[in-house]
């Protein structure tokens, strides 16, 4: 059953993983686990660890592996053990991929790799705005709000995530290339790896991924995972 697998969304910041994650989790009944969101939550805690995590995120660097792994384990444990998981933003380096394999045990891991051109990534990140109230995301280049800095959905103020500022975006992309991109080679020869063209609009990307996941559901049981790349 596809619902019992772990799926990893792999790709650079701005590749569209977060947008797809929410829709895919709903469609395929998977528990969504986004480490960026969980770590931003941790950063809001008024503790020493919280403030350290906040500073690391603002610099565009990676939070230490063990801390991330603890957050992931805690969230997986609190799901009550039901259903599979969709991981957005984890693993982000080879050490975390090893940690994930240990956590997964015999559960098959599928990997969806988002291929996106660098200039698209930069525009998506630097143009991205978040609503502080309802969480809606828009982009000043691709989906501008009707009124500048105001959420179309609820009228609250839109914010520019501090780590979406141009100098931090450059750092995050450098960290991606050095730390995360090697995971493509690590996973690409394994069962259950496939790539998507993340340059396309969100609906087209969703349809491409869904189609591949549905074929996986029709043709394979549990395990192995196998799909056209
Ligand atoms: P994201 O929302 O996925 O772009 O993540 C925002 C920030 O959270 C990243 O730039 C990192 O500082 C931190 N972060 C998210 N996931 C991880 C991870 N798996 N390992 C280390 N740091 C992470």
**Residue 195, in any domain of the structure:** yes
**Residue 225, in any domain of the structure:** no
**Residue 71, in any domain of the structure:** yes
pTM of the full predicted structure? 0.89
Active-site choice (23, 136, 161, 165): 161
Answer yes or no: is the C-beta of 8 below 6 A from any ligand 1 atom.
no
DSSP 14-39: TSSHHHHHHHHHHHHT-EEEEHHHHH
**Residue 135, in any domain of the structure:** no
Answer yes or no: is the C-beta of 60 below 6 A from any ligand 1 atom.
yes
**Residue 10, in any domain of the structure:** yes
- Residue 12 sits in which domain range? 6-117+179-220
- Residue pair 103/73 in contact (Cβ under 8 Å)? The answer is yes
175 vs 159: CA distance, rounded Å: 24
pLDDT digits (tens, 9 = 90+) for 30-75: 999 999 999 999 999 999 999 999 999 999 999 999 999 999 999 9
**Residue 23, in any domain of the structure:** yes
Answer yes or no: is the C-beta of 173 below 6 A from any ligand 1 atom.
no
Ligand 1 pocket mutation pick from 61, 66, 67, 92 by most atoms within 8 angstroms of CB: 92
Answer yes or no: is the C-beta of 137 below 6 A from any ligand 1 atom.
no
pLDDT at 78: 80
| CA proximity to 95, closest of 22, 198, 180 | 180
Cα distance between the two ends of the chain: 20
- Residue pair 119/64 in contact (Cβ under 8 Å)? The answer is no
pLDDT digits (tens, 9 = 90+) for 122-136: 999 999 999 989 988
pLDDT at 215: 79
Known active-site residue 215: no
Known active-site residue 115: no
Residues of the chain with pLDDT under 70: 1-3, 80-82, 217-229
pLDDT at 217: 65
pLDDT at 216: 73
* Dihedral sign from CA coordinates of 37, 41, 42, 48: positive
The total of structural domains in the chain comes to 1
CATH number at residue 22: 3.40.50.300
**Residue 168, in any domain of the structure:** no
**Residue 140, in any domain of the structure:** no
| CA proximity to 10, closest of 87, 101, 95 | 87
């Amino acid at each position: 059953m596809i619902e019992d697998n772990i799926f990893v969304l792999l790709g650079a910041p701005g590749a569209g993983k977060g947008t797809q994650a929410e829709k895919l989790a709903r469609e395929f009944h998977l528990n969504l686990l986004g480490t960026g969101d969980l770590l931003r939550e941790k950063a809001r805690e008024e503790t020493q660890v919280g403030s350290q995590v906040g500073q690391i995120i603002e610099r565009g660097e990676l939070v230490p592996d063990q801390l991330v792994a603890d957050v992931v384990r805690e969230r997986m444990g609190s799901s009550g053990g039901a259903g599979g998981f969709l991981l957005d933003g984890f693993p982000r380096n080879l050490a975390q991929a090893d940690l994930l394999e240990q956590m997964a045990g015999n559960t098959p891991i599928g990997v969806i790799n988002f291929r996106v051109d660098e200039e698209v990534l930069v525009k998506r990140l630097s143009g991205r705005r978040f609503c502080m109230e309802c969480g809606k995301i828009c982009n000043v280049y691709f989906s501008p709000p009707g009124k500048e800095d105001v959420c179309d959905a609820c009228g609250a103020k839109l914010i520019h995530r501090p780590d979406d500022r141009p100098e931090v975006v450059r750092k995050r992309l450098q960290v991606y290339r050095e730390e995360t991109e090697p995971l493509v080679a690590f996973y690409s020869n394994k069962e259950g790896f496939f790539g998507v063209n993340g340059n396309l609009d969100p609906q087209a990307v969703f349809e491409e991924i869904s189609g591949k996941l549905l074929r996986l559901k029709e043709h394979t049981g549990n395990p192995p995972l196998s799909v056209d790349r």
